[in-house]
Chains A and B, each alone.
Chain A
Amino acid sequence: MIMTKGQKWFNVFNMLLLGAIGLSMVLPFVHIIAQSLSDAVAINAGQVTFWPIGFTLGSYKLILQDPSIWIGFRNSVTVTVFGTLLNLLLTAMLAYPLSRPEYLFRRAVLLMVLFTLVFSAPLIPNYLLIKELHLLNTLWALMIPMAISAFNLFVMRSFFMNLPNELLDSAKIDGCGEFRIFWKIVLPLSKPAMATMGIIYAVAHWNRYAEAVFYVSDRRWIPLQVRLREIVFTDQYGQSDVTSELLVHLSPEGIKMAVIVVATLPIMLVYPFLQKHFIQGMLVGSIKS
Chain B
Amino acid sequence: MAAKLERSEQALYTFATRGHRWRFVRKYWPLYVLSIPGILYFLIFRYIPLFGSAIAFQDYNVFKGIKGSEWVGLDNFKRMFQYAEFLPILRNTILIGLYDLVFAFPVPILLALLLNEVRAMLYKRIVQTVVYMPHFLSWVIVGGIVVGVLSPSTGIVNHLLSLFGIEPIYFLGENGFIRTILVGSGIWKDSGWGTIIYLAAIASIHPDLYEAAQMDGASRWRQIRSITIPCIMPTIVILFLLQIGNFLDFGFERVFVFLNPLNSDNGEIIDTYVYRAGLVDRQYSYTTAIGLFKSVVGLLLIVIGNKLSRRVSGEGLY
Task: Write the residues of chain A forming the contact surface with B, with a CB cutoff of 8 angstroms.
Answer: 1, 4, 6-7, 10-11, 14-15, 17-19, 21-22, 24-29, 31-32, 35, 43-44, 46, 48-49, 90-91, 93-94, 96-98, 100-107, 109-114, 116, 118-129, 144-145, 147-148, 153-154, 177-179, 182, 203, 206-210, 213-214, 225, 228-229, 232-233, 251, 253, 256-257, 259-260, 263-264, 267, 271, 274-275, 279, 282-283, 286, 288-289
Contacts and interface: CB of A to CB of B under 8 A. Distances in A.
A123 B55 CA distance: 12
A211 to B, nearest CB: 10
Interface in B95-136: 111, 114-115, 117-120, 123, 126-127, 129-134, 136
A213 B49 contact: no
B252 A18 contact: no
B273 to A, nearest CB: 10
A46 B162 contact: yes
Contact of A128 (B118, B158, B284): B284
Contacts of A271: 133, 136
In the complex, which range does the number of interface residues on chain B fall in?
35 or more
B154 A253 contact: yes
A260 B141 CA distance: 6
Contacts of A179: 30, 34
A148 B38 CA distance: 8
Contacts of A213: 256, 275
Nearest to B162: A46
Interface stretch (B84-92, B225-233, B286-294): B286-294
Given A28-B156, A104-B24, A282-B196, 8 more contacts: A6-B219, A28-B145, A119-B295, A122-B274, A123-B271, A125-B51, A233-B143, A283-B200
A24 B275 contact: no
Contact of A182 (B10, B30, B278): B30
Given A25-B133, A90-B38, A96-B34, A125 B148 contact: no
A93 B3 contact: no
B38 to A, nearest CB: 3
Contacts of B299: 118-119
Interface string B158-183: 11001000000000000000000000
Given A25-B188, A182-B34, A101 B53 contact: no
30 contacts: A4-B219, A18-B115, A22-B126, A25-B131, A43-B154, A44-B154, A46-B158, A93-B35, A94-B35, A96-B31, A104-B21, A120-B295, A121-B46, A125-B48, A128-B49, A128-B284, A178-B31, A207-B138, A209-B257, A232-B143, A233-B147, A253-B153, A264-B137, A267-B136, A274-B136, A275-B132, A275-B133, A279-B196, A282-B197, A288-B1
Contact of B118 (A14, A105, A121): A14
Interface of B: 1-3, 6, 9-10, 12-13, 21, 24-25, 28-32, 34-35, 37-39, 41-42, 44-53, 55-56, 111, 114-115, 117-120, 123, 126-127, 129-134, 136-141, 143-145, 147-149, 151, 153-154, 156, 158-159, 162, 188, 192, 196-197, 200, 214, 219-220, 238, 245, 252-253, 256-257, 260, 271, 274-275, 278-279, 284, 287-288, 290-292, 294-295, 298-299, 302
Nearest to A38: B154
Contacts of B295: 119-122
Contact of A209 (B148, B200, B253): B253
Contacts of B291: 121-124
Nearest to A199: B136
B53 A121 contact: yes
Given A17-B114, A118-B302, A123-B279, A203 B52 contact: no
B138 A209 contact: yes
Contacts of B114: 14, 17-18
A128 to B, nearest CB: 6
Contact of B48 (A1, A127, A129): A129
Contacts of A274: 136
Given A26-B130, A263-B141, A232 B147 contact: yes
B142 to A, nearest CB: 10
Contacts of A119: 50, 295, 298-299
Contacts of A127: 278-279
Contacts of A111: 2-3
A154 B292 CA distance: 26
A125 B134 CA distance: 33
B24 A229 contact: no
A129 B49 contact: yes
A178 B284 contact: no
B153 A15 contact: no
Contacts of A225: 138, 140
A215 B139 CA distance: 18
Contacts of A4: 219
Contacts of A229: 140, 143, 257
A173 to B, nearest CB: 16
Nearest to B136: A267
Contacts of A27: 156
Nearest to A7: B220
A209 B192 CA distance: 22
